[in-house]
Structure 1
Amino acid sequence: MNTIVHKTLVVQLQAGATDRFPVLAHLSYDAADPFAVTVVFSHDGRVLARWRLDREMLTAALARPVGVGDVRMRPVSTGVWEELRLEFLGDARPDGGRQCAVVFAWAPALATFLRETREVVAPGREEIRIDDFLQDVFAGG
Structure 2
Amino acid sequence: MHSSTVQGHVVMNLVVSHELSFRIVVDLDYDPADPFAVRFTFHLPGDAPVTWFFARELLLDGISRPTGEGDVHIHPVGEELSEVCVVLHSPDGDARLVASAPPLIAFLARTDRLVPMGEEPTGSELDEQLAAILAKGCENLG
Q: Do these two structures clear the TM 0.5 threshold for a shared fold by scoring above it?
A: yes
TM range (shorter): 0.7 to 0.9
So what's the TM-score if we normalise by structure 2?
Answer: 0.79
Percent identical pairs in the alignment equals 31
Residue deviations 1:38-57 (CA, integer Å, cap 9, x gap): 00000348434210000001
Residue type of the alignment partner of 1:103: L
Partner in structure 2 of residue 42 of structure 1: 43
Structure 2: give runs of 5+ residues left out of the alignment.
131-142
Counting only pairs closer than 5 Å after superposition, residues 109-124 of structure 1 correspond to structure 2 as 109-124=103-118
Once residues 127 and 97 of structure 2 are traced to their aligned partners in structure 1, the CA distance between those partners, rounded to angstroms, is 34
Residue type of the alignment partner of 1:112: A
- Once the two structures are TM-superposed, the CA of residue 13 in structure 1 deviates from its matched residue by 0.3
Once residues 63 and 3 of structure 2 are traced to their aligned partners in structure 1, the CA distance between those partners, rounded to angstroms, is 25
Counting only pairs closer than 5 Å after superposition, residues 53-68 of structure 1 correspond to structure 2 as 53-68=54-69
Once residues 13 and 4 of structure 2 are traced to their aligned partners in structure 1, the CA distance between those partners, rounded to angstroms, is 28
Structure 1: give runs of 5+ residues left out of the alignment.
93-98, 133-141
Matched, 1:100 2:101: no
Residue deviations 1:9-47 (CA, integer Å, cap 9, x gap): 111001123411000110000111100000000034843
So what's the TM-score if we normalise by structure 1?
Answer: 0.80
Superposition misfits of 4+ residues, deviation over 4 angstroms: none
- Aligned residue for 2:113, secondary structure, equals helix
- Aligned residue for 2:59, secondary structure, equals helix
- Aligned residue for 2:121, secondary structure, equals coil
- Aligned residue for 1:47, secondary structure, equals coil
Partner in structure 1 of residue 28 of structure 2: 27
The size of the alignment, in residue pairs, is 125
Residue type of the alignment partner of 1:7: G
Q: CA RMSD in A?
A: 2.2
Residue type of the alignment partner of 1:91: P
- Aligned residue for 1:62, secondary structure, equals helix
- Answer yes or no: is the 8 Å Cα contact 2:3–2:32 preserved in 1: no
Once residues 110 and 104 of structure 2 are traced to their aligned partners in structure 1, the CA distance between those partners, rounded to angstroms, is 10
Structure showing greater radius of gyration is 2
- Answer yes or no: is the 8 Å Cα contact 2:14–2:96 preserved in 1: yes
Partner in structure 2 of residue 74 of structure 1: 75
Higher helix content, 1 or 2: 2
- Once the two structures are TM-superposed, the CA of residue 88 in structure 1 deviates from its matched residue by 0.3
Residue type of the alignment partner of 1:36: A
- Once the two structures are TM-superposed, the CA of residue 73 in structure 1 deviates from its matched residue by 0.6
- Answer yes or no: is the 8 Å Cα contact 1:40–1:47 preserved in 2: no
